[in-house]
Amino acid sequence: MKTLLRLGVLVALFSAAATVLSAADGKLMVALMPKAKGNAYFLSVKAGAEKAAKELGVELLFDGPTDTNAAKQNEIVENWITLGVDVIAVAAENKEGISTALRKAQKAGTKVITYDADALPDARSFFVNQATPEGIGQGLMDEAARLMNNEGEFAIITATLTAANQREWMKHIEARLKSSYPKMTLVAVRPSDDLKDKAQSEATALMSANPNLKLIMAICTPGVPGAAEAVKQAGKTGKVKVIGLGLPNENKRYVHEGVTDSVILWNTMDLGYLTIYAGTALAKDQLKPGAVSFKAGSMGTFEIKGDNILLGKPFIFNKGNIDQFDF
Amino acid sequence: MKRYFRELSVTAALLLVLLGLAVLAPAFYQPQPLLSLVTREAPTLIVACGMALVIICRQIDISVGSQFSVCSVCAGLLAARGWPLPLVVAASAGLGALMGAINGGLVAGLRLPSIVVTLATMVTLRQGLNLVRQGEFVNLPDSVQWFGLSQSAGQATLVVSALVVLVVIGLALRHLSAGRQVYAVGTNAEAARLAGIPPQRVTFLVFVFLGALTGLAAIMNIVQSPQVQPLSGAGLELKVIAAVVVGGVAIAGGRGNLWGAFAGLLLLACVSPALTHLHIEAYWEKAIQGAIILLAVVADGVRQRRGGK
């Protein structure tokens, strides 16, 4: 009984503290969750988010699992519900897994949006779509085709075989391949577990197993420098081309050495910026379901398709422009 | 013969796979790519040697992956600051030994279960590293890659040093009294104590030794590319524990040797490139590796029930 009482007092104290926290000078609290908080990609998202939070005068919380961990994401959402944040913005590691927690947040009155990787549609109001899977898939496939003169063998290095984003991109890469490039063959898809070291080993094996390989396409960020290092060490610079989804800073060296031809990505800082603007507008009732466009501060107006706020076309970094970017 | 049944059966399985590849995918044996692949496994082998000692001593360390990451990043940062390579190597091994000493101190000194202690250090170290580095790659000076040697000389150096470490520890484990003490403590700590062997000190030292080897392994990995990914080493603990167990080291301690662990490591490491060469879908990779581990554990279970040691 005594323990119960103590527990009760503790809970009461905690919720009181949470209320005080959220009510502090009436500032909106916007919580942003990456898939993994140590990931450089999400850090550049965070940089953009910070800029937006400053412009809007909202308080930004940034927390997530240290490495990709779907269960840990749920835990953090639960904590945020207790804390009483106004907006939760999540890049979902597991679509179904996170949705239960997000629905609970919505029930508690928190506005929920997703960015980078979506949850189930009923668990959030909007998805800030960094690039449609079609855009990415087609962009990668078209770039590969351009470099291979529309013919020959290529291979893909992915994150894990079950990662939601990568699977979605793969679907569109394969669709584009089938519809537009009959003389090109995808000979293998290998997982790298998001490790540069493993991507390097995988690329080495891919080249020796497929002597006619003309290009390696890495569709997770650590995979691109990993594949490039393998190509360089195999002495196949130029013979086996490397492209992929990656971060400019991690690939500059290989792009300048001519090992990697193109690095494809969207502007990650813009993604963070737009996410915070959209989340805040949602909490202030300035953005409602059914809207067809949305204006985000200095970045101008974005198209909304259904419940997807579109960031725009992917961006291709190459020898000519990569030095202008620093993330 | 019967005594080394587990080691021999793993070696046989490995030879069978290698033979199968020779017939079905001779391209696997092109010297340059094969050397690259073997070199990529050299750091793992070093960690597996240390892990074998810890497991023989009836302990486990699941923090090696995090230790490896911390050492990689610190070594990378020191090298980037212009520290001479021998000093960087010493610092990395020292840092590893220090982390091993923390694990060993908690396990041996406070008699805490090693799985819990190292689970805690695994998470703490990984989190700490992420907090400090935020996932950013460390760029290394050009002089670090391959120790400043040519690529093939660098690769040969790494492979040969890994093998030397394996042979030296493997022989020491069998022929030095320190090595036999590890078996004694792993078999029965109380009996070892009565025989005049200090079990807590042996336990502490195997953790320190594993840490130091992990620090060395981190160096052997970062010299293979010009950038260090802070996530590097994630999952390493599973890889080496699997290799050691598949190689016939009993998870309950007291039994096994490094030769078996070596064969186990090669067998598991073969799976991924073998599938690539046989053009089999990658979905099978983890399933096959899992089946190999299961088979090894079942073999151990059957042995034990039959009363074998």
Question: Cβ separation of B276 and A253 shorter than 8 Å?
Answer: no
* Span A263-315, pLDDT tens digits: 998 888 899 999 999 999 999 999 999 999 999 998 899 999 999 999 987 88
User: What is the rounded distance in angstroms from the CA atom of residue A172 to the CA atom of residue A140?
Assistant: 10
User: What is the rounded distance in angstroms from the CA atom of residue A203 to the CA atom of residue A205?
Assistant: 5
Question: What would the mean pLDDT of A8-27 be, rounded to a whole number?
Answer: 55
Which residues of chain A are within 8 Å of residue B151 when distances are taken between CB atoms? 233
Res. A9 pLDDT band, cuts 50 70 90? low
The 10 Å Cβ neighbour count of residue B40 is 23
Superfamily grouping for domain A2-131+268-312: Response regulator (3.40.50.2300)
Which of B25, B136, B282 lies nearest to residue A189, judging by beta carbons? B282
Whole-number pLDDT of residue A193: 93
Whole-number pLDDT of residue A23: 47
Asked if pLDDT for residue A19 goes beyond 80, the answer is: no
Res. A52 pLDDT band, cuts 50 70 90? very high
Percent helix, strand and coil across chain B, each to the nearest 5: 75, 0, 20
Nearest CA in chain B to A225: B227
Mean pLDDT of chain B, nearest integer: 95
User: What is the rounded distance in angstroms from the CA atom of residue A294 to the CA atom of residue A3?
Assistant: 52
CA of A322 vs chain B CAs: smallest distance (Å): 17
Question: Cβ separation of A229 and B225 shorter than 8 Å?
Answer: yes
Which of B40, B133, B230 lies nearest to residue A200, judging by beta carbons? B40
CB of B137 within 8 A of CB of A228? no
User: What is the rounded distance in angstroms from the CA atom of residue A53 to the CA atom of residue A27?
Assistant: 11
CATH of residue B216's domain is: 1.10.3470
The answer to whether B150 faces chain A, any CB pair under 8 Å, is no
* % of chain A with per-residue pLDDT over 90: 74
Whole-number pLDDT of residue A132: 83
* Span A69-80, pLDDT tens digits: 888 999 999 999
Nearest CA in chain A to B222: A197
- Where in the sequence is the domain holding B36, given as residue range(s)? 5-305
Report the domain count for chain B.
1
Cβ-Cβ pairs closer than 8 A, A with B, add up to 119
User: What is the rounded distance in angstroms from the CA atom of residue B144 to the CA atom of residue B27?
Assistant: 31
Least confident stretch, A12-16, A103-107, B14-18, B199-203:
A12-16
Q: Where are the domains of chain A?
A: 2-131+268-312, 133-265
Stretches in chain B below the pLDDT threshold 70: 1, 307-309
Question: What would the mean pLDDT of A53-67 be, rounded to a whole number?
Answer: 93
Strand partners, A136: none
* Span A125-174, pLDDT tens digits: 999 998 888 889 999 999 999 999 999 999 999 999 888 889 999 999 99
CA of B288 vs chain A CAs: smallest distance (Å): 15
At a CB cut-off of 8 Å and minimum separation 6, what does B145 contact?
Answer: B154, B223, B224, B225, B226
Which residues of chain B are within 8 Å of residue A209 when distances are taken between CB atoms? 25, 27-28, 273, 276-277, 279
- Output the six-digit token pair for B32: 């340059």
Nearest CA in chain A to B31: A208
Whole-number pLDDT of residue A312: 83
Q: In what order do the strands lie in the sheet with A152-158?
A: A184-191, A152-158, A213-218, A241-245, A260-265, A315-317
Which residues of chain A are within 8 Å of residue B73 when distances are taken between CB atoms? none
At a CB cut-off of 8 Å and minimum separation 6, what does A8 contact?
Answer: none
Give the CATH architecture of domain A133-265: 3-Layer(aba) Sandwich (3.40)
Element containing residue A84 per DSSP (H, E): none
Do A2-131+268-312 and A133-265 fold alike per CATH? yes
User: What is the rounded distance in angstroms from the CA atom of residue A319 to the CA atom of residue B30?
Assistant: 33
- Output the six-digit token pair for A300: 């101008």
Q: How many CA atoms lie within 13 A of B82 on its CB side?
A: 0
Whole-number pLDDT of residue B193: 95
**Pairing mode, strands A260-265 and A29-33:** unpaired
* Span B62-85, pLDDT tens digits: 999 999 999 999 999 999 999 999
Whole-number pLDDT of residue A26: 77
> pTM of the full predicted structure?
0.81
Name the 3-class secondary structure at A201: helix
Which residues of chain A are within 8 Å of residue B80 when distances are taken between CB atoms? none
Mean pLDDT of chain A, nearest integer: 90
- Output the six-digit token pair for B183: 């078996």
Question: Cβ separation of A209 and B221 shorter than 8 Å?
Answer: no
Question: What would the mean pLDDT of A102-131 be, rounded to a whole number?
Answer: 94
